[in-house]
Structure 1
Amino acid sequence: MTIRYRTWLGLGGNIGEPIQAMAEALQALHARDDTRVAAVSPVYRTPPWGKTDQAWFHNACAQVETSMLPEDLLAVCLDIERHMKRERIERWGPRIIDIDVLVYENWKPVESPKLTLPHPRMTERAFVLVPLSDIAPDLVVNGKRVAEWAASCDRTGIEKAREDAGWWLESRAE
């Protein structure tokens, strides 16, 4: 891997074993020759957002170094979701896994039919900002540091579910 971009991903799920699903997704990314997972936040248990009549979520964020351009990374993330049997039935509905490309460092904003960067609603979502502030508090998004966005968001109900830094490296119990 020669060209490296630093990017941040948001991960979550509320069906089955979401912590294991997020770990599996991160391991799949890390196993690629063109991508390396550099940092992962603790896991948070979070109330549903947008569609509130469903189970609570588990969420985390990851810093990834990659040689892929943003739309290529998004395509890989969507392939991982499909491989893990993610079904897109309703917007903001229940899911096994969700992987969002949040922001690329030093990248001009992107608006295409497939991808918007920075992620258009990330600064409204505590389930993104709280874990992201654990690994990238000084990252600037839309003119403010992530730590500032996180300090001003409603954290009601958000609690740490896993604090150990290597939670995503645990091998799957078969």
Structure 2
Amino acid sequence: MSSLYRTAPVGIRGQPDFINAVAALVTTLAPHELLDELFAVERRFGRRRDFPQAPRTLDLDLLLYDQLLLDGERLRLPHPRMHLRAFVIAPLLEIAPDCHIPGRGNAAAWLPALSQQRIERLAP
């Protein structure tokens, strides 16, 4: 798991800063099964999906699943906006410095373009 990072909400106004991290895991679950488990964890922490971009207690995103490319209604892999978010790329590179994003190339190549996004590393 990466360090924790404090970031301003992207595309959302009037909400407090977010705390972000990236974790890698090994699973026998298929991608949609893993997504269902992530949503179940969010619910256990009080997450409600009342409207898009609603305040949340926890937000778990499935960013990558090996080198799988998937474009479904419920799940798109890699996450379609991960390369546009410093709060994803910085912690991802911390735990996987050579990470390749399928269809997008090396994750590190995206970081310079995200320099205007405020991100603060909090803790290892």
Query: TM over 0.5, yes or no?
Result: yes
Single out whichever of 84-93 and 121-130 deviates more from structure 2.
84-93
CA distance in 1, matches of 2:113, 2:62: 22
Matched, 1:138 2:98: yes
Partner residue of 1:112 out of 72, 76, 81:
72
Matched to 1:74, the amino acid is L
Deviation of 1:155 after TM superposition, in Å, equals 4.8
Matched to 2:80, the amino acid is P
Contact 1:47 1:158 in 2 (8 A): yes
Matched, 1:125 2:85: yes
Matched to 1:82, the amino acid is R
CA distance in 2, matches of 1:83, 1:143: 33
Deviation of 1:113 after TM superposition, in Å, equals 1.5
CA distance in 2, matches of 1:46, 1:82: 23
1:10-159 equivalences under 5 Å are 40-107=1-68, 109-141=69-101, 142-159=103-120
Q: 5+ unaligned residues in a row in structure 1: which ranges?
A: 1-39, 164-174
Matched to 1:123, the amino acid is H
Identity %: 37
Q: Please tell me the root mean square deviation across aligned C-alpha atoms, in Å.
A: 1.3
Matched to 2:70, the amino acid is V
Deviation of 1:144 after TM superposition, in Å, equals 1.7
Matched to 1:64, the amino acid is L
**Aligned residues between the structures:** 123
Structure 1 segments, 4+ long, off by >6 Å, are none
CA deviation vs aligned residue, 1:134-166 (integer Å, no higher than 9, x gap): 111211112321111223313532111112xxx
Q: 5+ unaligned residues in a row in structure 2: which ranges?
A: none
Instruction: Please state which structure has a larger fraction of its residues in strand.
Output: 1
Matched to 2:4, the amino acid is V
Contact 1:48 1:55 in 2 (8 A): yes
CA deviation vs aligned residue, 1:103-136 (integer Å, no higher than 9, x gap): 11132x1111110000011111111111111111
